[in-house]
Amino acid sequence: MIKPLHVLIVDDSQADALLLVYELKRSDYEVTYERVETPEAMRAALDQREWDIVISDYHMPQFTGIASLALLKQEGLDLPFIIVSGTIGEELAVEVMKSGANDYIMKDNLRRLVPAVERELREAAGRRARKQAEEALRRTEEQLRQSQKLEAIGRLAGGIAHDFNNHLGIIIGFGELLVDALGSDDPLRKKAEMIREAGLRAASLTRQLLAFSRKQVMEPRVLDLNAVVTELNYMLRPLIGEDIELVELLSPKLGKVRVDPSQIDEIIMNLAVNARDAMPKGGKLTIETANVELDETYLDRHVTIQPGPYVMLAVTDTGIGMDKEIQAHIFEPFFTTKEKDKGTGLGLAMVYGIVKQSGGYIWVYSEVGQGTTFKIYLPRLDVAVPATKVDKVMPSDLTGSETILIAEDEAMLRELACEFLASAGYTILQAGSGEQALKISECHQGPIHLLMTDAVMPRMGGSELAQRLQSQRPDIKVLFVSGYTDDAVFRNGLVTPGTAFLQKPFTRETLLFKLREVLQGERNR
């Protein structure tokens, strides 16, 4: 069987080089070779192509075997190196082997050449296989460490966001009450509005944290990403500026994906903004879509991904790029390379969370000075499934006269909700715990139209309270509220799926709207 072999021969004699080639060809090697005899020529040959083996003479007018071996090491190449010489003695042979040569052969005994070459090729293949296995293991461990780190940060971020939502609800709500109480010409009204707006901006940050921790509310639809990119075109062009060229490479017959439309918009907008900031002097922004099959070869490099059909969305810029150290942190919340007050460091964290919550994967490829590519892989649907539509009740009047029982263990939030509802005409019964709410229900002679309860309270949670109250009052309706999202609350079994839910922090209008929605019969969230 013919075996291809690429040989770099370091020798000042063309005749001797041809003898080596002849010996190898006798053993069915299809030899491609180049002969060099100076350091410069050897370096150029190593740069120009890949070689299987280096065979070098020991004594040459402008070069030596020891020097050629040293040059090979300087280039960082792990190639078999064999000395073939007519003058080398035992002492020199020992020196050569100590320097790292794999073997030495006398020119008058070339019968040893082929066995030596075959042995060294096998050992080189073994070294490459071990190195590849070690590198694959290193990548696997690094990806798992990164995934575990982001999971831990996500859990922490979700818990922080929940606690913040309770406090922000108080700030936003009482800020609203202050604004309503102060006249338009009152000098304090502007300050109250600033308090409320700061609370709303902080609430937006917690929503981004929840997106990263994959606890965000999702309303997935079956989408064509080509249509999404095309529709966003008119928003992206003014956003990125006139000095950046926008290119769209959209694959025809693109498969469908099931994602939240607003969230996929956020992904593209965030990546576009990051690309713009990476090209302060202008450049090119490319958005690409394609159907891809991720197979075992891809999995060797990305161990956390599942094989199968995907739709790829790639966003590429020609900007400043990132080094490996920065790439290792870009998806972490609050990590940013931008100047102070130029970014929160939550944009890419939110993108990461949305992609993962949608069942997809995101990878970044970047080199300093060469630009950056973000590749997002979303599971491709074989059959398009129509999105479920829920018809919402749209109350025109947010006032009411019904009796509402509020169960909330956070005193300030309870007081705030009472003020909101009382101002809209409702009759209020309030309790600081589930047990107290049950006692109030037992003592109250009239109807209780709705229970508004925190989903998570000490000793007795909202779900247990609702079940016990509904056994006493079958007609009572229930509205759950929580600093967690409904996705987290339902997924963890704190509330039965399909029941009405309102996430903290909420504004007065949001609360009153939700109440009318539930009281008028809309049970779906």
CA distance 292 to 305: 13
pLDDT at 424: 92
**Residue showing tokens 């922004």:** 285
CA distance 146 to 151: 9
Residue 431's pLDDT band, with cuts at 50, 70 and 90, is very high
Q: Is the pLDDT of residue 49 over 80?
A: yes
Q: Is the pLDDT of residue 115 over 60?
A: yes
34: tokens are 């180049």
**CA quadruple 114, 119, 122, 124: dihedral positive or negative?**
negative
Of the chain, the end-to-end C-alpha distance in Å amounts to 71
Higher pLDDT, residue 349 or 253: 253
pLDDT at 161: 64
- Please, are residues 469 and 451 in contact by the beta-carbon 8 Å criterion? yes
Residue type, 171: I
- Among 320, 317, 298, residue whose Cα is nearest residue 307: 298
Q: Is the pLDDT of residue 296 over 70?
A: no
The single-letter DSSP state of residue 387 is: P
What domains are there in the chain, each with its CATH number?
Answer: 3-129 (3.40.50.2300), 137-212 (1.10.287.130), 221-379 (3.30.565.10), 403-519 (3.40.50.2300)
pLDDT at 178: 86
CA distance 318 to 118: 46
Structure confidence by residue, pLDDT tens digits, 211-245: 544 444 456 788 899 998 998 887 888 888 889 99
Q: Is the pLDDT of residue 459 over 70?
A: yes
DSSP string, 120-177: HHHHHHHHHHHHHHHHHHHHHHHHHHHHHHHHHHHHHHHHHHHHHHHHHHHHHHHHHH
CA distance 52 to 80: 7
CA distance 315 to 266: 13
Residue 179's pLDDT band, with cuts at 50, 70 and 90, is confident
Residue type, 115: P
313: tokens are 């969305």
- Among 524, 523, 513, 508, residue whose Cα is nearest residue 179: 508
* Percent of the chain scoring above 70 in pLDDT: 80
Most confident region among 175-184, 263-272, 444-453, 504-513 by mean pLDDT: 444-453
430: tokens are 């309030």
Roughly what angle, to the nearest 10 degrees, separates helices 411-423 and 113-181?
A: 50
- For β-strands 308-317 and 283-294, DSSP reports them as antiparallel
Higher pLDDT, residue 300 or 282: 282
101: tokens are 């040569």
**CA quadruple 389, 395, 398, 401: dihedral positive or negative?**
negative
CA distance 226 to 79: 48
CA distance 183 to 82: 93
- Among 429, 453, 425, residue whose Cα is nearest residue 516: 425
Q: Is the pLDDT of residue 498 over 90?
A: no
Q: Is the pLDDT of residue 247 over 60?
A: yes
CA distance 279 to 321: 9
- Among 207, 230, 445, residue whose Cα is nearest residue 344: 207
- Please, are residues 449 and 403 in contact by the beta-carbon 8 Å criterion? yes
Q: What angle do CA 416, 420, 424 make, to 5 degrees?
A: 160
Q: Is the pLDDT of residue 142 over 90?
A: no
Neighbours of 143 (CB within 10 A): 16
Whole-Å CA distances, 310 to 274, 379, 382: 24, 5, 10
Residue 389's pLDDT band, with cuts at 50, 70 and 90, is very low
- Among 371, 376, 378, residue whose Cα is nearest residue 245: 371
Three-state DSSP state, 256 = strand
Neighbours of 194 (CB within 10 A): 12
